[in-house]
Amino acid sequence: MFYQSPAGDSPVDEFLDGLASRPRAKVEKFLELLEEQGPRLPRPFADAVDGPIRELRVGFGRLEIRLLYFFHGRRIIVVTHGFLKKTRAIPPEEIVSAHKAHADWIIRHGGAR
């Protein structure tokens, strides 16, 4: 499930719309893997970032594509947004953005189920 802001915007959809077709197709395959395996999806495909925030890692040529997400209960995966990683570490503003989306999600949808 892709996070939607209170205004109805979907940062993930916007990010995916900006990708060329082949990298987008690979991202969609990795999202399917995440959906199938959930928290069991191992490194190097996924990793913990900060608190509840995790990352889905997709490499495509020189592109390092990252999607940040969190789990809501045992069955719901909420992907907050995506970005192209250009440095070794995840930029702090990307983590802050994911935490804000997580906090908003909890407010609007309740605690973990």
Per-residue model confidence (pLDDT) at position 64 = 94
Per-residue model confidence (pLDDT) at position 88 = 85
Per-residue model confidence (pLDDT) at position 34 = 96
Domain boundaries, the chain: 11-109
Per-residue model confidence (pLDDT) at position 73 = 84
Per-residue model confidence (pLDDT) at position 112 = 55
Contacts of 66 (CB under 8 A, 6+ apart): 55, 56, 57, 58, 82, 83, 84, 85, 90, 94
For each successive 10 residues of the chain (113 residues), what is the average pLDDT?
92 95 96 94 94 96 94 91 91 96 92 58
> Residue 109 is which amino acid?
H
Considering the entire predicted model, what is its pTM?
0.93
Question: Which pair of structure tokens corresponds to residue 98?
Answer: 């994911």
